[in-house]
Amino acid sequence: MTSADSADSALVASGELRIGWAARAMPVLTALGERFAAERPFGGLRIAACLHVTAETAVLMGTLKAGGAEIALAASNPLSTQDDVAEALRDYGVVVHAQAGVTMDAYYRHIHQALDIGPDIVLDDGCDLVNILHTERTELLETVSGGCEETTTGIIRLRQMAAEKALRFPVVAVNDTRTKRMFDNRYGTGQSTMDGIMRATNTLLAGKTVVVAGFGYCGRGVAERARGLGARVVVTEIDPVKALDASLQGYDVRSMAAAARAGDVFVTVTGNRDVIRGEHLAEMKDGAILANAGHFDVEIDVRALDDLAHAVHRGVRPNTDEYVLADGRRLLLLAEGRLVNLTAAEGHPAAVMDMSFSAQVLSVAWLVRERARLEPGVYDVPGEVDVEVARLKLAAAGIEMDELTPDQEEYLHSWRLGS
């Protein structure tokens, strides 16, 4: 039985509802779909993609298909596959090799099946597909013009391949653009982190002291939202320039040792380990809430918390564990120290994926246009793509900008030349 045989109209309907919901928050991708339907920049191209099979990815697939591409999609992680979305995509004419919860054998077989399309372009999320292409399916390399990679981890692998001259085509690193960083790190993480804390604890934030460890883009976003919810915000940092900036923005900058005694809620978002350690936990107030918004679950030293605790009550609230210390104080760990915005809330809204997937399709269009001149290697997203994504996002929101007059163009030009 092939995947296509399993069509189920209820599943299709459910998937379409999900995709429709995602699409309404993805106006940039939708606008690109309309443009591509007219211009057909991907006419005659075959694309093999290895991505999370979710409603947002389905909108991406629709945009590429509208532009003329023939697509085969495998899952980049079997746990994230939404079977109804997969079914709706099949119904729409995308070949999908994915099912929730399959074995690792089936996972790799699906990638092979997606590659069977004989791709001109590949889209990857973690570098597994590109890796298989360069090792087990080298017969297909000849016709591949280029690819896109979503993740930091994938980019690291690709750069190593490039350094060893093993990479055989150009790949655009779409994980980091100005617009994505803005949407994702600052505003996306900022809102979803506070959202996760509210869903987990239903605590009133007005008048609380929220300690934000780390004042990078994400930390800044969290601090802004915590302040916006009425909290006093304390920032901890190790970088003097960031610490100074936080102070000038009116935040109370302290060492974690000092902040530990003051905080009602703690959010780590540093990218480092052991930011909240036993020595800090020992000083905290009864009822302090501990949350992590950094990528890995190493920022709060959970082992130290376990050592300090005389009793642990799991699930006193959804995603909330209570650790009772010897003196009766209770500390509340959210989401076991894992990403609170993904675990206790829903992570990035579709609006965020709209920005990164739009950068992805525009990068594909750029690859197709430029493929004749591009050497194998890892490429940043071209600056024009970022500008185009921002421009479309503004247009979708009905926001008007100014245009330079010819006099102004000349003035700026002469100034940059230093007259």
- Phi-psi region for residue 371, left (φ > 0), alpha (ψ -120 to 50) or beta? alpha
Pick between residue 4 and residue 163 the one whose CB is nearest to a copy of itself: 163
Smallest distance, Å, CB 99 to a copy of itself?
25
Smallest distance, Å, CB 255 to a copy of itself?
4
- Footprint of a copy of itself on 112-151 (CB under 8 A): none
Instruction: Specify the amino acid at residue 274.
Output: D
Report the C-alpha gap between 329 and 287 in whole angstroms.
Answer: 7
Report the C-alpha gap between 316 and 173 in whole angstroms.
Answer: 42
From the centroid of its chain, how far is CA 407?
41
Q: Please say whether the beta carbons of 91 and 5 come within 8 A.
A: no
Question: Which tokens hold the place of 397?
Answer: 């929101």
Report the C-alpha gap between 246 and 235 in whole angstroms.
Answer: 7
Pick between residue 91 and residue 354 the one whose CB is nearest to a copy of itself: 354
Report the C-alpha gap between 212 and 299 in whole angstroms.
Answer: 12
Smallest distance, Å, CB 388 to a copy of itself?
8
- Footprint of a copy of itself on 339-368 (CB under 8 A): 345-346, 349-352
The neighbour count for residue 244, using CB atoms within 10 Å, is 13
Pick between residue 306 and residue 346 the one whose CB is nearest to a copy of itself: 346
Residues near a copy of itself (CB under 8 A), total = 95
Smallest distance, Å, CB 372 to a copy of itself?
28
Q: Is 216 within any annotated ligand binding site? A: yes
Smallest distance, Å, CB 238 to a copy of itself?
5
Stretch that binds a copy of itself, among 4-12, 50-58, 313-321, 358-366 (CB under 8 A): 313-321
Report the C-alpha gap between 232 and 56 in whole angstroms.
Answer: 36
Helix 152-163 vs helix 128-135: crossing angle, to nearest 10: 30
Smallest distance, Å, CB 353 to a copy of itself?
11
- Footprint of a copy of itself on 173-232 (CB under 8 A): 178-179, 182-183, 186-188, 190-191, 195, 198-199, 202-207, 224-225, 227-232
Told to check if 21 binds a copy of itself by CB under 8 A, we report yes
Report the C-alpha gap between 36 and 40 in whole angstroms.
Answer: 5
Pick between residue 43 and residue 318 the one whose CB is nearest to a copy of itself: 318
Pick between residue 136 and residue 306 the one whose CB is nearest to a copy of itself: 306
Interacting residue with a copy of itself among 31, 102, 282, 298 (CB under 8 A): 298
Report the C-alpha gap between 175 and 204 in whole angstroms.
Answer: 35
Beta bridge partners of 330: 324
Stretch that binds a copy of itself, among 66-74, 79-87, 113-121, 391-399 (CB under 8 A): 391-399
Q: Please say whether the beta carbons of 336 and 302 come within 8 A.
A: yes
- Footprint of a copy of itself on 49-88 (CB under 8 A): none
Burial of 102 (0-12, 13-18, 19+ CB in 10 A): middle
Report the C-alpha gap between 150 and 129 in whole angstroms.
Answer: 12
Q: Is 294 within any annotated ligand binding site? A: yes
Q: Is 163 within any annotated ligand binding site? A: no
Pick between residue 39 and residue 411 the one whose CB is nearest to a copy of itself: 411
Smallest distance, Å, CB 315 to a copy of itself?
9
Report the C-alpha gap between 110 and 97 in whole angstroms.
Answer: 5
Report the C-alpha gap between 125 and 357 in whole angstroms.
Answer: 12
Told to check if 372 binds a copy of itself by CB under 8 A, we report no
Told to check if 297 binds a copy of itself by CB under 8 A, we report no
Q: Please say whether the beta carbons of 50 and 114 come within 8 A.
A: yes
Interacting residue with a copy of itself among 139, 164, 375, 403 (CB under 8 A): 403
* Three-state secondary-structure class, residue 298: coil
- Footprint of a copy of itself on 223-282 (CB under 8 A): 224-225, 227-232, 236-241, 243-245, 247-256, 258, 271-275
- Phi-psi region for residue 127, left (φ > 0), alpha (ψ -120 to 50) or beta? left
Q: Summarize the annotated binding site as residue ranges.
A: 54, 125, 150-153, 180, 184-185, 214-219, 237, 272, 293-295, 341
Q: Which residues are annotated as a binding site for NAD(+)?
A: 151-153, 185, 214-219, 237, 272, 293-295, 341
Q: Which residues make up each annotated binding site for substrate?
A: 54, 125, 150, 180, 184
